[in-house]
Amino acid sequence: MALVRWGALIGYAVFVLAMGCNVSAWLDWLADLFPKSIRGTAIGASTFSASLCGVGGALLAGRLLRERPGMTTYALLYALAAVVAYLSISTFWLIRDRAESSAEDDTPAPPIRVMLARFAVSLREGNFRAFLIGRVCAALGFCMVPFIAVYYQSAGGGGLRPDVVVSCGAAMTVGMSLGPLVLGRLGDIHGHRLGVTLGTAGQVVALGVVLTLGGIMGCVIAYLFAGLAIGSGWVSHNNMLFETCPHDHRMAHITVGNLVMAAPLIIAPIAAGALVEVAGLRVLFWVCLGLSAVAVAWFATRVKEPRQLLMERASETLV
């Protein structure tokens, strides 16, 4: 069993490392693929489709675990996920990239000193710093997601069977599909700060439900609003990253934003586990609720919509 735990941890670490190596380039390419006016809608629609497929996956996983409980079923599910991942990534060959059809030569990668200089320019921008502070606070408040399943299997959460909790988890993929679809379009019209704020408010609702409502109904609603928060993190957070860039190298801006977010995302689950061992699950949920509420208030009062800020600066320049 110890070998299995270490294998799972090492495998997940390799996955995160591999994703971290290309995520900035991937996001920069994604930002360039769609015009700003429809970028949120396009990303939201793609996330909607992917997450909606995930609903069926979660229901299938729950059924398999109910009929064939044990570690073998988890291995089978991972193998099926890998096959689906390979098939889905192959569809990117069908995308027409404007950069590929351009006659211009590839721009060489900038030296490290240039990248570091762009990092400094990004971090000196006050609204970007405020955005990152809010996102870090929200991320710390969201470290409770893995513990939702633990709580609803406990006596305090209703003592649900593991397969029932997995099936209830389909509600999270529903939230992850509907949330980006709506928030992406709203962001294109009104700005993406709105989506970040509403997504963080979804965390508050999820935590409030966990603390007050047990059983299947509580589990479904908690996962639904957790999914909304996750979906917002994909479409609204990334579009805010794109639009807060204060210089000519968006990839450097995305990279420094991800680096700032990395430390709390690594530490938070470990700290949450330690807190649960000492004080219990409900104390963790109350702490996360407080952090999430602070994040909502911060976004509402301290973070400015980048488009509005750009208009204000343009007006000041004209004056």
Residue 135 has pLDDT above 60, yes or no: yes
- Give the span between the Cα atoms of 189 and 231, in whole angstroms: 18
User: Considering only 56-65, 94-103, 225-234, 282-291, which range has the smallest mean pLDDT?
Assistant: 94-103
- List, for residues 239-281, the tens digit of each pLDDT value: 999 999 998 888 889 989 988 888 788 788 888 989 999 999 9
Residue ranges and CATH numbers for the domains of the chain are 34-84+118-305 (1.20.1250.20)
This prediction's pTM? 0.83
Q: Which of 105-109, 158-162, 291-295 has the highest mean pLDDT?
A: 291-295
- pLDDT value for 289: 96
Amino acid, single-letter form, for residue 279: A
Q: pLDDT confidence of 1, banded at 50, 70, 90?
A: low
**What's the pLDDT at 16?**
64
Is pLDDT at 319 greater than 60 in this prediction? no
In the chain, the largest separation of any two C-alpha atoms, in whole Å, equals 71
